[in-house]
Structure 1
Amino acid sequence: MKALSQGDIYTIVILKVLNKRNTDYPAAILNKANDLLTHRSINRRYFYSTVAKAQGDELIKISDRTDKLIYYRITEKGMDVFKTYHKTFYPSMEAIKTVVDRLESVLKNQQLHPEKASLLHADYRSFFSRLFSAKDVIRYYTIKQLQVQPSLFMAEVSEILNEQLGWSPSIGYLYEIAHEMEEGELLVGKWNNDIRRNKRYYRLTDEGAHHFKQIEESTYVQTKQNKKYLAECLQLLV
């Protein structure tokens, strides 16, 4: 599932404003967009080109014209497109916001959730991975778990992520991150069997323990930013 592009967001805002205000001119729509999109700056030129594209796509049409202003209103096609945006993105963003809320709670309270999370729908998992830096989330949970147990292998991290967030990337990607952490001397790894080499166990190093606070803070900042983004998108889609 793809994420909302800047053009998608501008289109949604234009349709939402005209659906609520019946008719308006581009500068007034832009002012309302600034009220709705509080956590991002709007590219005026791109926004106005999106208005023109929406007209060209017959999502909006001219309703009135004065010497200086052109007023637009939403068309039936525009209403249908807005409903399609809602149907396509609202359920996924609502589900992902639940995941983000759980992660924020863990970061705030400094302890794992006692209750198991519902698994994130398979169609939404790639969107979550694009929204977040999965690397930071993996590093955070790996080091946090190694603070309470002497060693682990990455399949355990996968189980923890699924239990805590309802999401986990592939085992291959988890081991890729573990390899990076090992190269960065945050972890030290050892094969359970030098011949078969089917499991690699990891221990936390002093360097890893030292960097945990930095990783935790980075993950928290990212979580708060993504929570604001999701809340804003959900507000736009209703």
Structure 2
Amino acid sequence: MDESSFQATVGFSVRDTLILFWLHSTFDQERYSVDIHDSFIEEFPGRSVRYEYVTRIARQLATEGALSVRQEHKKMYYQCTPVGKERLAKYQDLYFNRFHEILQVLDRIYYSLTKNGEKPTPPDHPLPTEFRSYFSKLLSVKDVIRYLALHLSLNRSSFYMAEVSQQLNDLFGWSPSSAYLYTVAREMEESDLLHGFWPDERRSVRHMKGTDAGAAFYPTITHSLEERVKNTRHYLNYILHFIQKDEN
């Protein structure tokens, strides 16, 4: 996910990010605008933001009473005001729990994909309902389903899609709706990524097993999902760094 797509998805524009950065960076000390610009570029590598835009945001925040401003010679120094601290607290209330809960799910998915780092703690509750639609905007839900279904197909002689849902809940603390799960399953059968069959005449539970095409596609979907998860975790961690609730 590129930066502009991520910002559009999570509702954090460059302006939002700069406001958050200004309020956080000047919370308990004065900062010079050039210093803020340089620090921003260092904290968010690869993000191209002009110095003029950084100072424009500072002036807007000062006009709104969120930053105080003091001129020393030709330098303008800014510091967060009580109004600014209240605004920062609103960012915390609005985004912290949402991003924190989602990041825990992403960490578990990333570990499942890569086995890198320390194993995350298993989920002790599902992703809250109010965050589910938001989560589906960050990742391709279809890719998560396809990844785990293909993983099962490579390690079991057969399985059924309800097991995929259960595995998603047990491993990650999240699963999609049953309707969408079975929609993806049908698509995987149609594209020969899975082979479905009825184990008996009752036709109550359709079983799945792997195919050569599915085995060949597994590395592709794993790599694609890993990149998406890695980039999304990267940006969420940056944002969470600036809205930690213990800041105030």
TM-score range, shorter chain: 0.7 to 0.9
The answer for the alignment partner of 2:61 in structure 1 is: 54
- 1:220 is aligned, of 216, 223, 226, to 226
Aligned residues: 231
Higher mean alpha-carbon deviation, 124-133 vs 206-215, is at: 124-133
Q: Partners in 1 of 2:71 and 2:104 — Cα distance?
A: 43
Q: How does 1:17-32 map to 2 (within 5 A)?
A: 17-25=25-33, 27-32=34-39
* Offset of residue 169 of structure 1: 1.4
Q: Partners in 2 of 1:172 and 1:50 — Cα distance?
A: 45
The answer for the alignment partner of 2:185 in structure 1 is: 178
Q: Partners in 2 of 1:59 and 1:207 — Cα distance?
A: 57
Secondary structure of 2:10 counterpart: coil
Instruction: Give the aligned residue type for 1:96.
Output: I
Q: Partners in 2 of 1:156 and 1:14 — Cα distance?
A: 47
Question: What runs of 5+ residues in structure 2 fail to find an aligned partner?
Answer: 1-8
Instruction: Give the aligned residue type for 2:27.
Output: N
The change in CA–CA distance for 1:57 and 1:134 in structure 2 (over 3 A counts) is farther
Q: Indicate yes or no: 2:98 matched with 1:92.
A: yes
Q: Partners in 2 of 1:189 and 1:105 — Cα distance?
A: 29
Q: Partners in 1 of 2:115 and 2:31 — Cα distance?
A: 47
Q: TM-score, normalised by structure 1?
A: 0.81
The answer for the alignment partner of 2:137 in structure 1 is: 130
Q: Deviations over 1:138-180 (max 9, x none)?
A: 1111111122233333322111111110001111222232233
The change in CA–CA distance for 1:216 and 1:73 in structure 2 (over 3 A counts) is same
Q: Indicate yes or no: 2:46 matched with 1:12.
A: no
Secondary structure of 1:42 counterpart: coil
Percent identical among aligned pairs is 29
Question: What runs of 5+ residues in structure 1 fail to find an aligned partner?
Answer: none
Q: Is the 8 A contact 1:17 1:32 kept in 2?
A: no
